[in-house]
Structure 1
Amino acid sequence: MPLSTLADAPVFDRDGFTFRPLAVPSRGSAELAIWALELSPGACSETHHMDREEVFVVVSGGISATVAGQEVTAGPGDAVVVPANAVLRIRNASDDAPASLTAVTSVGMKATVGGATFLPPWAQ
């Protein structure tokens, strides 16, 4: 399938984060996993890590993140690079406006949250 539209992407909501898979195995991608991600105002992820490198590119709004103990802030056009197994916590930098990102990793990536390891449904 050479075209995967955002309008047809399934929607996965988790704690103020909305994931819309664009390029994942269920949508035709064999190597990369890419999804659109929206963070509600004030949304903050659980502390977690992934077993593969992950990159977040800010499309609109702003985010703050803690990556392997280092605090970063990113705005439109910026990329936050998260090494494999680095502890991550990501949050919308605004309490008033949403933030949108594009997330990129590789197929088969597994997340660990609170001691539970799983394949996120938006990455399949």
Structure 2
Amino acid sequence: MPLSTLADAPVFTRDGFTFRPLAVPSRGSSELAVWALEIAPGSASEVHSMDREEVFVVVTGEVSATIADQEISAASGDAVIVPAHHTLRIRNACATTPATLTAVTSAGMRATVGDATFPPPWAQ
């Protein structure tokens, strides 16, 4: 499948985060997982880690993140690089405007939140 459109992407929501898979195994990609991500104003993820490297490119807005206890801020055009197995908490730095990002990782990645490890449904 050479084209995967945002308009046809399934929508997954979790605590102020909206995931729309673009290139994932269920949509034709065998090696990479790419999704569009929108973070509602003021929303923050739970602390988690991934078993693969993950890169977030900020499309609009500004995000803050804690990566293995290091605080960073990223604005439109910046890339946030999260090494495999490092803890991450990412949040929309603005209380009034959504942030949009493109996330890229490897197909088959697994997330760990607390004691639970699972494949995120938007990466399948």
For the superposition of Structure 1 and Structure 2, which TM-score range results when normalised by the shorter chain? over 0.9
Q: Kindly provide the CA deviation profile for residues 18-63 of structure 1, in whole angstroms up to 9, marking residues without a partner as x.
A: 0000000000000000000000000100000000000000000000
Cα shift at 1:114: 1.6
Q: Provide the secondary structure at the position in 2 that maps to 1:57.
A: strand
Which amino acid counterpart does residue 89 of structure 2 have in structure 1? R
- 4+ residue stretches of structure 1 with deviation over 4 A? none
C-alpha distance in structure 2 between counterparts of 1:59 and 1:115, whole Å: 32
C-alpha distance in structure 1 between counterparts of 2:19 and 2:115, whole Å: 22
C-alpha distance in structure 1 between counterparts of 2:4 and 2:75, whole Å: 26
User: In the alignment, which residue of structure 1 is the partner of 2:20?
Assistant: 20
- TM-score if structure 1 supplies the norm length? 0.99
User: In the alignment, which residue of structure 2 is the partner of 1:4?
Assistant: 4
Q: Provide the secondary structure at the position in 2 that maps to 1:97.
A: coil
C-alpha distance in structure 2 between counterparts of 1:48 and 1:21, whole Å: 19
CA RMSD, 1 decimal: 0.3
Q: Provide the secondary structure at the position in 1 that maps to 2:56.
A: strand
C-alpha distance in structure 1 between counterparts of 2:77 and 2:25, whole Å: 26
User: In the alignment, which residue of structure 2 is the partner of 1:48?
Assistant: 48
Cα shift at 1:4: 0.3
C-alpha distance in structure 2 between counterparts of 1:104 and 1:68, whole Å: 19
**Unaligned residue ranges in structure 1 (runs of 5+):** none
Which amino acid counterpart does residue 23 of structure 2 have in structure 1? A
Identity %: 75
Which amino acid counterpart does residue 116 of structure 2 have in structure 1? A
User: In the alignment, which residue of structure 2 is the partner of 1:37?
Assistant: 37
Map residues 1-124 of structure 1 onto 2, 5 A cutoff: 1-124=1-124
Which amino acid counterpart does residue 95 of structure 1 have in structure 2? A
Cα shift at 1:119: 0.2
The number of residues matched between the two structures is 124
